[in-house]
Amino acid sequence: MSLKKGKETQCELCYEAYNKFFVSLDRADLHYLNVERETKIYRKAQHIFEEGHTPHGIFCIKEGQVKLYKNGFDGREHITRIAFPGEFIGMRALLTGRDYSVNATAMEDTMACFITKSDFFQLMIKYPDFSRRLMVALTTLLEEAESRLIALAHRPLRERLADSLLYLHKSFHHTSPSYPIPYLNLTRTDLANIIGTTPETVIRMLSALKEEKIINIKGRKIFILDKPRLEFIANPKY
């Protein structure tokens, strides 16, 4: 699918991104952004960008979720981050002037708005508060990456799994008419690639959590039933 001019949703009505980044823009620049940004629908498993390619702008996620990952020598994906609505992807490469260091792929049908490099940098120059908000977002991502490295190096798999379920549930979850209770919806392979293990190990650990009535499972859907106990597993008081 090719990019097209996106007027489906005004930036100021995309509350996650607006409140996080664009709130300081005046009406004229918001209107310009609404007209000039481009919106694309990415189907599940479709690439948004690939490692080694040159960025020409930045993507802001409106709906869906995107995994950012590197391909390991073992052929497995090593997921470094999952991005949710209201978040930018490709920001580090754009700001540093380097090629993408990771791949970005839609985990489900996803809508993302594309802002060109020149428009994005003009906003940074004109609005110091916009630049400050970007720096806060980058700092938060760095802190999360550091915490993840420590967790992968030192924490048992069960703790890593519990922590990842809590993080994903807090950041983004689904509901539907059939399942009005919030749930996580991701493959066991993706979950394994997040915590650094095999899908078979994840399946066994999820089954154990289900037997303990901490979670429930229906197909790919994971429902958190006992959040306090899951929090204790993620951060046990030894």
**Domain extents in the chain:** 4-151, 156-234
- Distance set, CA 136 to CA 70, 88, 201 (Å): 24, 12, 36
The residue count of the chain comes to: 238
Residue 131: exposure state from Cβ atoms within 10 A (0-12, 13-18, ≥19): middle
Please report the pLDDT score of residue 58 as a whole number: 97
Tens of pLDDT, residue by residue over 102-155, are 999 999 999 999 999 999 999 999 999 999 999 999 999 888 888 777 777 778
For the CA atoms of 198, 83, 42, 192, the dihedral, rounded to the nearest 10 degrees, stands at 0
Tens of pLDDT, residue by residue over 3-12, are 344 445 788 8
Please report the pLDDT score of residue 175 as a whole number: 67
Query: Which CATH superfamily does the domain covering 4-151 fall into?
Result: Jelly Rolls (2.60.120.10)
> pLDDT grade, residue 208 (50/70/90)?
very high
Tell which CATH classification among 3.30.1360.200, 3.40.30.10, 1.10.10.10, 3.30.390.50 matches the domain 156-234: 1.10.10.10
Q: Considering only CA atoms, which of 181, 201, 184, 183 is closest in space to residue 193? A: 201
Mean pLDDT rounded to a whole number for the chain? 89
Tens of pLDDT, residue by residue over 164-197, are 999 888 877 776 677 677 888 889 999 999 898 9
Residue 202 has pLDDT above 60, yes or no: yes
Q: Which residue carries 């490099």 as its tokens?
A: 117
Distance in angstroms (rounded) separating the CA atoms of residues 183 and 169 = 7
